[in-house]
Amino acid sequence: MSILDRNEGGFDARTLIAIVLMVVIITIGMSVQNVLFPREALPEAPPPESIPIESLEAAAPAAALSAASPQATDPTAPLAEARYRLSTDVFDAEFTNAGGELVSLRLKQHADASGPVEMLLDGRDGSRGFSTSLGGPAGQPLDALMSVSMPGEGVIEFSRTFYYRNAAGEDVPYAFRKRYEFKPGEYLFRLSVTVENSRPEALPLGDGTYAYSLSLGPQIGPEYETLPKNADFRKLVVMEAGKRKVINPKNGMETFSTRVSWAAVAGKYFALIAVPDATSYDATYRSTVADGFPVTTSISLSRPALGASAQTDVFHFYAGPKSARELARYDDPKQNGFKRANDRFEDVLEGGNMLGWLEAILKWALNVFYGIIPNYGVAIMFVTLMVRLVTFPLTFKGSKATARMQELQPKMQELQAKYKGNPQKLNQEMAEFYKREGYNPMSGCLPMLIQLPFFFAMYSLFNNHFDLRGASFIAGWINDLSLPEAVYSFPTINLVIWRVSAIRLLPVIYLASQLLYGKLMQQPTTSPGQSQGQMKFMMYGMPVVFFFVLYDVPSGLLVYWITSNVLTAVQQIVINRIIHKKKLEDAAAAPPLRIVPGKGKKGIKNGSN
């Protein structure tokens, strides 16, 4: 007999094999984690040689250069750059008269570690977060000094006279104006771009293909050094032909001529949404990563060449939280100061999966409980209790099935021993036995199966519910329910099958609660091919696998699962006591047995006979 065949109070061969398999499953679990809870996909940065400089900075024709460069001095233009500030109750905006650009847009009601969230981040190469270039998006941003006026509350206007040289060699003046409009309480603002020729002829503005381009990016806030998994992301989302679409530009940059209702640079909690007017703009999307996190996620809207002597284009921009409450206002003209309707900004939110309805219910319940006790950790516990109460009839049925299985176990073992050498006959007899006893062997799985939809809906909720951003549960430990907690952080250690960068306490508590849950819900062997080793693996191995899978999920999800396990354990203890009490009552109500002398076992008869 080999050592693997012995079972002297330790593990048998199948148990040892199960332990080995557990290591393999942990590796698979890491892959499952990436499938179920993927990091936002970001295209790799193209190698430098894949995008030639010539393709990004194509030389403009001579006519375009003369149109883009003033051929005479505007006597009304300022002589030095100056900054201007415009504030509302939600925005603190800063402008420069160099090109009339919006250079800073801070959200006064939302803060990160450095203060109010800055929505417009400049690039490493000095590119601006919100710029205008004459011609295509690769052109030099317009930085000529402009005159400034503030014709009304929340309105700032920049203007300047430029010149282009016509075929006759004359310098012809044209006006260029940019007008920004802000309203109180609105995360939406309006930008009007006006060009007007001094002569009744089409204005040859730009490079012959495009008159000008508006660019958003290279990045939106909040500012970051890295983007840890589950912490944040950047992606390009558009509303095209009434459908939401995520853009992943080929080779890091791609231009589309398809008209969109809006185009957005979206993060986990904030979004910058550009809403063009009815003109057929071309949109250029850029998305590149370096050192593992995005450095460019930008949009450029390019206006076709002008066919008239004067033109005013109107854009609206939403720059604010990905909060359904704020985004939905622009579907109803009575709810916003710009009288916008049916913009469907809510489609910029993540989600929309088959469990979206359940996520919406859980979100509503979470907000209700938070309104009673303003702590989202406590609210999560109450939502968990609510879920347990709603699902109690089904979980109670599953718990009763577990107890029923224990009662039937002796008879099942008899069948297994009787047909040990005939698996086909055993399966047939087991099926008949289940039918005769009125037992469904799958009913014991109900508690776990019921939890799964709530688990996935909760995961999506914790990743997308804006109000959970920075929501603290226990100060000093669980400071943000939307992120993994950590009691000690350190540089990432690559263990091949697992990358760890922090010691976390919640996954350990989860493991303990799951082991307790499995112990209380343990079922006897239910099939001829199932060994005690396999049962031990299901009880102890799977929770360990999920410990690794769930190690870096949002802490709010683990608070939910731990609370659910504890409540289920309490429920099972109560159910076991009820079933045990019923057995005692049934035994007490049964007629007493009497023994007939000299008859042995045959002399044991019911007392009523």
Q: What is the 3-state secondary structure (H, E, C) of 100-164?
A: CEEEEEEEEEEEECCEEEECEECCCCCCCCEEEEECCCCCCECCCECEEEEEECCEEEEEEEEEE
The residues facing 276 across adjacent strands are none
Token pair belonging to 291: 């050192």
Q: Is position 135 within any domain?
A: yes
pLDDT higher than threshold 60 for residue 53: no
Q: Token digits for 388?
A: 């347990």
- Scan for tokens 């009601």, then name that residue: 109
Q: Which of the listed residues 348, 368, 386 is the one where a domain comes to its end?
A: 348
Reference 217, options 257, 177, 256, 263; nearest CA is: 263
Asked if 220 and 119 sit in the same domain, the reply is yes
Whether residue 321 is found in the same domain as residue 367: no
Mean local confidence (pLDDT), 316-325: 94
Name which residue leads in pLDDT, 159 or 417: 159
The predicted-structure confidence for 463-504, as pLDDT tens digits, reads as follows: 778 888 888 899 889 998 988 899 998 888 888 778 888 899
Task: Report the distance separating Cα 513 and Cα 153, nearest Å.
Answer: 59
Tell which of 299, 326, 348 closes a domain: 348
Same domain as 370, residue 274? no
What confidence score (pLDDT) does residue 266 get?
94
User: What is residue 380's predicted lDDT score, i.e. its pLDDT?
Assistant: 94
Q: Give CA–CA dist 64/207, Å, rounded.
A: 5
Give pLDDT, residue 65.
Answer: 33
Task: Say if 5 falls within a structural domain.
Answer: no
Measured from the Cβ of residue 462, the count of other Cβ atoms closer than 10 Å reads: 26
Give the model's confidence band at 402: pLDDT under 50 very low, under 70 low, under 90 confident, else very high.
Answer: low
C-beta neighbour count of 267 within 10 angstroms: 23
The number of C-alpha atoms within 13 Å of 182 and in the hemisphere containing its C-beta is 22
Listed ranges 43-52, 299-308, 512-521; the one with the highest mean pLDDT: 299-308
pLDDT-derived band at 195, boundaries 50, 70, 90 = very high
Q: Is the pLDDT of residue 317 over 90?
A: yes
Q: Residue 148's Cα: distance from chain center in Å?
A: 42
Higher pLDDT, 204 or 76: 204
Q: What is the pLDDT of residue 318?
A: 98
| Higher-pLDDT residue of 211, 469 | 211
Q: At 10, is the secondary structure helix, strand, or coil?
A: coil
- What is the band of 75 on the pLDDT scale with cuts at 50, 70, 90? confident
DSSP letter at 449? H
Domain containing residue 333: 61-348
* DSSP annotation string for 408-422: HHHHHHHHHHHTTT-
Same domain, residue pair 497 and 582: yes
Is 207 a residue whose pLDDT tops 70? yes
Q: Backbone phi, then psi, for 583, in 5-degree steps?
A: -60, -45
What is the pairing mode between strands 115-118 and 210-216?
unpaired
| 3-class state of residue 266 by DSSP | strand
Would the CA dihedral through 498, 503, 506, 511 be positive or negative?
positive
Backbone angles phi, psi at 47, to 5 degrees: -60, 150
What's the pLDDT score for residue 91? Answer: 97
Helix axis angle, 392-418 to 555-589, nearest 10°: 60
Question: Which pLDDT band holds residue 37 (cuts at 50, 70, 90)?
Answer: very low
Q: Please check whether residues 117 and 29 belong to one and the same domain.
A: no
Co-location of 453 and 564 in the same domain: yes
**Do 224 and 140 contact (CB within 8 A), yes or no?**
no
Q: Which tokens belong to 71?
A: 């051929």
- Is 511:544 a contact under the CB 8 Å cutoff? yes
Residue 197 pLDDT exceeds 80? yes
78 and 175 together in one domain: yes
How many CA within 13 A on the CB side of residue 558? Answer: 29
Whether 93 is in a domain gets the answer: yes
SS3 sequence of 345-403 = HHHHCCCCCCCHHHHHHHHHHHHHHHHHCCCHHHHHHHHHHHHHHHCHHHHHHHHHHHH
Token pair for 106 = 């801070």
What is the structure's pLDDT at 459? 83
**55 in any annotated domain:** no
Look up tokens 């493991």; give the residue. 511
Same domain for 343 and 361?
A: no
How many domains does the chain fold into? 2
Together in a domain, 266 and 368: no
101 assigned to some structural domain: yes
Amino acid at 543: P
CA dihedral 365, 368, 374, 379 (to 10 degrees): -20
Least confident of 453-462, 471-480, 537-546: 537-546
Among 42-56, 129-143, 315-329, the range scoring the smallest mean pLDDT is 42-56
Tell me: do 497 and 476 sit in the same domain: yes
Query: Residue 452: pLDDT above 90?
Result: no
pLDDT of residue 492: 80
With a CB cutoff of 8 Å and minimum separation 6, the contacts of 481 are 376, 377, 380, 462, 468, 471, 472, 473, 554, 555, 556, 559
Report the CATH number at residue 177. Answer: 2.70.98.90
Query: Is residue 7 domain-resident?
Result: no
What's the rounded Cα separation, in Å, for the pair 23 and 16? 11
The confidence score (pLDDT) of residue 8 equals 38
The more confidently predicted of residues 430 and 505 is 505
Give the DSSP H or E segment for 172: strand 171-182
Statement to judge: residues 239 and 375 lie in one domain: no
pLDDT in tens, 556-587: 989 999 998 898 888 778 777 777 777 777 77
pLDDT recorded at residue 1 = 39
Between 421 and 207, where is the model more confident? 207
What gap in Å lies between CA 243 and CA 539, rounded to an integer? 45
If phi > 0 it is left, if psi is from -120 to 50 it is alpha, else beta; for residue 251 that is left
Task: Give me the mean pLDDT over the 9-19 stretch.
Answer: 45
Rounded Cα distance, 596 and 607, in Å: 10
382 and 299, same domain (yes or no)? no
Q: For 227-255, what is the mean pLDDT?
A: 88
In DSSP terms, which residues pair with 252 in a beta bridge?
Answer: none
Look at 65-74, 79-88, 144-153, 326-335 and tell me which has the smallest mean pLDDT.
Answer: 65-74
pLDDT of residue 603: 52
Please choose, from the candidates 188, 449, 208, the residue with its C-alpha nearest in 3D space to the C-alpha of residue 339: 188
Query: Is 602 domain-assigned?
Result: no
Mean residue pLDDT across the chain: 80
Query: pLDDT, tens digit, for every residue of 330-378?
Result: 999 999 999 999 999 999 988 656 777 888 899 899 999 999 999 999 9
Instruction: Indicate the pLDDT class of residue 592, thresholds 50, 70 and 90.
Output: low
Chain mean position to CA 211:
37
- CB of 577 within 8 A of CB of 505? no
* 603 part of a folded domain: no
Q: What is the pairing mode between strands 188-197 and 171-182? A: antiparallel
| Of 327, 348, 369, the domain-final residue | 348
Question: Is pLDDT of 232 > 70?
Answer: yes
Quick one: tokens of 595? 């023994």
